[in-house]
Amino acid sequence: MRISSGIAGVALVGLLAACGGDDGGDTTTATGGGGDDAAAYPTESIRMLVPYGAGGPTDLTTRTVGACLEEELGQTVVVENLPGGSGALATTELVGAEADGYTLSLVTAGTMVLTPLANEVGYTKDDITPVGVMTEVPSVLAVGDNSPYASAEDFFAAVEAEPGTVNVGTPGASTPQAIELQRLAEEHGVEVTAVPFNGNAEMTTALLGGNVDAVLINASSDVVQNIESGAFVPLVASPEERLSWLPDTPTFTELGYDGLTLSGSTFGLAGPAGLPDDVVSTLEDTLQTCLEKPEVQEQLGEEYVLEEFAGAEELAEVLDRTQEVYEPILG
């Protein structure tokens, strides 16, 4: 697939850090061990945290990548779910861990940027060392199969005719999806009423039950299944360019709503700030090896694995770009 959502934004507007990059954290100096220790890494089991509950796309991503890292690195990788606080519980555990490569976590722009901006959590994106992008899940604006809106043009015509009367479900009040709808109103004068839910399952029930007019939802495998069955009708996709697997679905950019490319979810791998260079390189190279394996791509969903591997620098750029856009709104 093409590089989408946040990654595409980096490429086109200057929108996951290389060690010692420009994000404010110095990751070039080895801490938590000397050069010999870093060169031998890993010599013991690795803990991989998931900031969300078991069973969802973040859990699947971490467990799939974790199993491959275990095979490639020759050490046990233990995946641990620590949901709570919009990702703050797991992230607090991550940033407080020793910077030796034996505690890692799945990170997103939501956990590393939006949560710190919206809440006093005691950390920022500069308290981690990015390693690379595991998967990227775009968002889609979708309606049910019995919706009066047969196209994006129909939807936006209704919204513009009666601002605020069209309800759109989002996976939470301070998620990228909710903030993008706020930006839609503030930057483009298109006002809908965002209705927060606790994840895809609640949003799906609400949409199919007619309790909301549309949803701006992560297009994870459950949503793709609903699209394929005809239960969901995708009207707009979040990436800069059309998705190869939804070729008939226009993008917000294509429709004239420039900049609204951040509602997808980039699932990155990171450690605490100050990981030694050799450890970062080992993890980054091994992650790339894993993501190039056909069996790993199949488990993750080929549509979610970037065609071109995005490493530490690219992951940092996504977080930086998200901070740049959302800090004036939430800061």
Note the pLDDT of residue 237.
97
- Euclidean distance between CA atoms 178 and 186, whole angstroms: 13
Q: Kindly report the CATH class assigned to 139-237.
A: alpha beta
Token pair, residue 232, equals 């969901």
DSSP 23: S
DSSP per position, 220-271: -HHHHHHHHHTSEEEEEE-SSS--TTSTTPPBTTTTT-TT----SEEEEEEE
- Sorted by sequence, the CB contacts under 8 Å of residue 25 that are 6+ apart come out as 17, 126, 127, 128, 129, 273, 274
Burial of 9 (0-12, 13-18, 19+ CB in 10 A): buried
Note the pLDDT of residue 21.
38
Note the pLDDT of residue 274.
98
244 neighbors 1 (Cβ within 8 angstroms): yes
Q: What is the pTM of this model?
A: 0.79
Residue 229 CB neighbours (<10 A): 9
Identical topology for domains 5-136+264-330 and 139-237: yes
Note the pLDDT of residue 39.
58
Domain extents for the chain?
Answer: 5-136+264-330, 139-237
**At 113, is the secondary structure helix, strand, or coil?**
helix
- Euclidean distance between CA atoms 94 and 106, whole angstroms: 10
Note the pLDDT of residue 171.
86
**Please, what are the averages of pLDDT over each run of 10 residues along the chain (331 residues)?**
40 34 39 50 97 87 97 98 91 98 96 92 97 96 96 96 96 86 95 91 93 95 94 96 94 95 94 98 98 97 94 97 91 68
Q: Which of 231, 215, 213 is nearest to 159 (CA)?
A: 213
Burial of 26 (0-12, 13-18, 19+ CB in 10 A): middle
Note the pLDDT of residue 174.
75
DSSP per position, 308-325: S--BHHHHHHHHHHHHHH
- Euclidean distance between CA atoms 299 and 279, whole angstroms: 26
Note the pLDDT of residue 200.
85
- Euclidean distance between CA atoms 322 and 112, whole angstroms: 10
Over residues 112-133, the pLDDT tens digits come to: 999 999 889 999 999 999 999 9
Beta bridge partners of 130: 270
- Euclidean distance between CA atoms 223 and 214, whole angstroms: 13
29 neighbors 268 (Cβ within 8 angstroms): no
Over residues 227-286, the pLDDT tens digits come to: 999 999 999 999 999 999 999 999 999 999 999 999 999 999 999 999 999 999 999 999
For domain 5-136+264-330, give the fold.
Answer: D-Maltodextrin-Binding Protein; domain 2 (3.40.190)
Beta bridge partners of 140: 217, 237
- Euclidean distance between CA atoms 292 and 114, whole angstroms: 30
Note the pLDDT of residue 123.
97
Note the pLDDT of residue 327.
92
Q: Which of 13, 329, 321, 10 is nearest to 185 (CA)?
A: 329
26 neighbors 262 (Cβ within 8 angstroms): no
